[in-house]
Amino acid sequence: MDRYERIIAMHRLLQAARRPVTVRRLMDELGCSRATAYRDLAYLRDGLMAPLVGDGEAGFSYDKDEATRFELPGLWLNSEELHALLAAHQLLSRSSGGMLSNALAPLQQRVEKLLDAHSSGKSWPMERVRVIPHRLRKMDEHAFRVVASAVLERHRIGFDYRARSTDEKTRRSVSPQRLTHYRDNWYVDAWDEERKALRSFSIDRMTAVRVLPGAAEDVAEEELNAHLAGSYGIFSGAPKGWATILFSAKAARWVADEHWHSQQQGRFLADGRYELKVPYSVPRELLMDVLHYGGDAEIVEPKALREQARALLQLSLIHISEPTRPY
């Protein structure tokens, strides 16, 4: 543990302690000598202006009146935390087509400087962290930034929206409630002022995005969750039914660890297969997710959902056996 990490650990130990921390405990916790512990305590008090009180006999603690207000200046993270932060940065900057790269560049530079301080100039091979997006949609970075700022700063926004289902273009004025990232795409959940209802909008379908005068109207968290907890795909809106899906023993160990819905019910059967029950509203994406498992998944009920799955499979087979001929 280097000095940087010892200071962080010492600060956290003193912050959490209910009684004075002895030098012996510091030596044991930090794996350092008595002299090093005293030097770090002195640096914490004199160099970083920590409200440190006590002595080597009774132990050290933070002054009760100042403890809650004191924090280490700047960004203090140990090496493992910085590595995790850089990996998360790679995920954010490379998702959504690298749309957030410019916005996150200052953070990466700051983290890299901190890592340099830890490692005496050693370079970190960030090319070893791979992020492979799936079916990315092209998105306007300006639109995303306006929406994100409006959500956090509670501004109303207006935009033109072209729905995928109808290709119809409409003009909307909304109070944005929250951003949602789902399957490599960004959405904004919002209160539609004209329709007087909650709606979800795909940001890649929004154009001419602008901030409107006035503060956004807030919708209670309970109402948001009731209407939009599963808006994207299989759990859209209030559940209309429950699906029972049976997975083979081969797929069971994977499915048992998957989160499909907050109310899902799962159990292993005696023969090693796995039974999963999930609430659903719109069946299309549920069917696609189940069919992803091929012969390792079977829809047991409801019967209507089972028949829809059979029809989808038959349609797929027709398209495969009769490819479209070029003109």
Residues 135-183 have pLDDT tens digits of: 666 778 889 889 999 999 999 999 999 887 777 899 999 999 998 888 7
- Domain locations along the chain: 3-67, 79-128, 141-220, 241-320
- Same CATH topology for 141-220 and 241-320: the answer is no
Confidence band of 236 (pLDDT split at 50, 70, 90): low
103 pLDDT higher than 60: yes
242 pLDDT higher than 50: yes
Strand partners, 225: none
SS3 138: coil
SS3 288: helix
- CATH class for the region spanning 141-220: mainly beta
For residue 316, the model assigns a pLDDT of 72
What percentage of the chain carries pLDDT values higher than 90? Answer: 35
Q: Which of 5-9, 81-85, 228-232 has the lowest mean pLDDT?
A: 228-232
Q: What is the mean pLDDT of residues 68-92?
A: 71
Q: Is the dihedral of CA 202, 155, 102, 206 positive or negative?
A: positive
223 pLDDT higher than 70: yes
Provide the terminal-to-terminal Cα distance of the chain, rounded to the nearest Å: 69
pLDDT tens per residue across span 109-132: 766 666 666 555 566 666 677 766
78 pLDDT higher than 90: no
- Ranked by mean pLDDT, the top range of 49-63, 82-96, 116-130, 217-231 is 49-63
Rounded-to-integer distance, Cα 232 and Cα 234, Å = 7
Identity at 7, one-letter amino acid code: I
Q: For the domain 241-320, what is the CATH code?
A: 3.30.70
Walk across the sheet containing 197-202 and list its strands.
197-202, 185-192, 169-182, 155-162, 206-215
Confidence band of 84 (pLDDT split at 50, 70, 90): confident
Strands of the chain (E only): list them: 52-55, 59-62, 155-162, 169-182, 185-192, 197-202, 206-215, 241-247, 265-268, 274-280, 297-301
Identity at 205, one-letter amino acid code: R
Q: For the domain 3-67, what is the CATH code?
A: 1.10.10.10
For residue 231, the model assigns a pLDDT of 40
pLDDT tens per residue across span 265-304: 999 999 999 999 988 877 887 888 888 888 899 999 999 9
Identity at 303, one-letter amino acid code: K
Q: Where are the alpha helices (DSSP H) in 95-220?
A: 101-119, 141-153
